[in-house]
């Protein structure tokens, strides 16, 4: 994570750990830009695919920090 900080919120540390573990657990990882996607469009998709896919929505900054390497 960021070099200057010494302590992180527990939730953020767990999310970062999950991001590191997902590529090891699943063979396919997809990144989707979710700008201007309404919840009414996303909810049916999540409901239909919840048993097949894992949906994880991240803020842009966290995504950029994780996948920049």
| 40-49 CB burial, b ≥16 within 10 A, e <16 | eeeeeeeeee
**Per-residue model confidence as pLDDT tens digits over 9-55:** 898 888 888 888 888 988 888 878 888 889 899 899 889 988 888 88
Query: Is this model's pTM higher than 0.75 or not?
Result: no
- Tokens matching residue 4: 């200057």
């Amino acid at each position: 994570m960021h070099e200057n900080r010494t302590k992180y919120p527990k939730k953020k540390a767990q999310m970062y750990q999950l991001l590191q573990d997902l590529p090891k657990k699943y063979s396919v990882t997809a990144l989707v830009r979710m700008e201007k996607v309404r919840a009414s469009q996303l909810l049916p998709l999540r409901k239909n695919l919840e048993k097949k896919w894992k949906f994880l929505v991240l803020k842009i900054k966290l995504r950029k920090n994780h996948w920049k390497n």
